[in-house]
């Protein structure tokens, strides 16, 4: 059981909802990313997602795309992100999940990357453009290194593909709240509660809902149905406006954590 799985088990025992917060590593700089991570951990985040900047981020909406572009201008790469994770891990036990795309991982080398994640304190991976039908090799490698591989799950109820994805997923289930990219305007999915209930009937893994959470009210609403929520674009937007990013991160995490409890 890695840090991520252990922490979710502790949350379940306390009947507590998980707050998972996404930031783009290297935006606006590595030093400020570290300050943000410390703020999120101190504010009560249950898991920090470190977004890997990529040139063709197909799952990301405009806010995260712009953050990624800023990080790419800083020439941030996987080695930099692993390094900041290792530094963070020296003082904090907050689970870390790296979220990115398959090409940089493939270029790094699947075995080498999973091993490096383990050595640097990464607990889970989300690869946005890796369908589970093509993930069997990487799943086995992650499992060997104690890394949770978390697939994105579309808001569908009980079909065979959903069951197959759930069987292949570890750590937690990332349930996408609606079809589209992160942080974009959308019609609320009125069936989300039913979708989450359907997923929970097919797995013992905790279910976290992401995409489109942009207020404490929507955070509370989605947390009612799920075991946790995932927030990215809203947090990044708040950080963009802030001159004290560590303090903003701490207050943001604390306020949302309070709202979902």
CA separation, residue 230 to residues 17, 77, 95, 104 (Å): 11, 23, 14, 23
Contact 231, 256 (CB under 8 A): yes
Contact 182, 211 (CB under 8 A): yes
Rounded to an integer, what distance in angstroms lies between the CA atom of residue 100 and that of residue 130? Answer: 10
Q: Is 49 a catalytic residue?
A: yes
- Selected catalytic residue, list 27, 35, 49, 221: 49
**Residue 74: phi, psi to the nearest 5?**
-85, 0
SS3 44: coil
Out of 60, 80, 123, 227, which one is annotated catalytic?
Answer: 60
What SS3 state is found at 161?
helix
For helices 216-225 and 245-260, angle between their N-to-C axes, nearest 10 degrees = 50
Catalytic residue at 204?
no
Render the burial of 30-65: b for 16+ CB within 10 Å, e for the rest: bebbbbbbbbbbbbbbbbbbbbbbbeebebbbebbb
d(CA 171, CA 151): 10
Cβ neighbour number for residue 71 with a 10 Å cutoff: 25
Q: Which residues are catalytic?
A: 49, 60
């Amino acid at each position: 059981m890695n840090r991520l799985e252990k922490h979710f088990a502790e949350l379940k025992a306390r009947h507590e909802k998980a707050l998972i917060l996404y930031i783009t590593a290297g935006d606006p700089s590595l030093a400020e990313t570290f300050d943000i991570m410390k703020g999120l951990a101190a504010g009560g985040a249950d898991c920090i997602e470190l977004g890997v900047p990529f040139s063709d981020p197909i799952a990301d909406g405009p806010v995260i795309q712009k953050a990624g572009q800023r990080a790419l201008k800083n020439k941030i790469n996987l080695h930099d992100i692993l390094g900041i994770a290792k530094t963070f891990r020296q003082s904090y036990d907050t689970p870390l999940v790296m979220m990115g795309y398959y090409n940089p991982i493939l270029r790094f080398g699947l075995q080498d990357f999973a091993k490096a994640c383990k050595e640097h304190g990464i607990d889970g991976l989300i690869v946005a453009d890796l369908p589970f039908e093509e993930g069997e090799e990487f799943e086995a490698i992650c499992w060997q290194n104690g890394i949770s591989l978390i697939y994105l799950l579309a808001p569908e109820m009980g079909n065979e593909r959903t069951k197959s994805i759930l069987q292949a997923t570890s750590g937690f289930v990332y349930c996408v709240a609606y079809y589209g990219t992160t942080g974009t305007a959308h019609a609320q999915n009125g069936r989300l509660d039913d979708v989450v209930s359907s997923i929970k009937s097919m797995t013992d893994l905790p279910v976290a809902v992401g995409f489109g959470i942009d207020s404490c009210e929507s955070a509370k609403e989605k947390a009612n149905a799920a075991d946790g929520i995932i927030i990215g674009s809203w947090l990044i937007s708040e950080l963009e406006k802030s001159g004290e990013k560590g303090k903003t991160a701490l207050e943001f995490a604390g306020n949302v954590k309070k709202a979902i409890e």
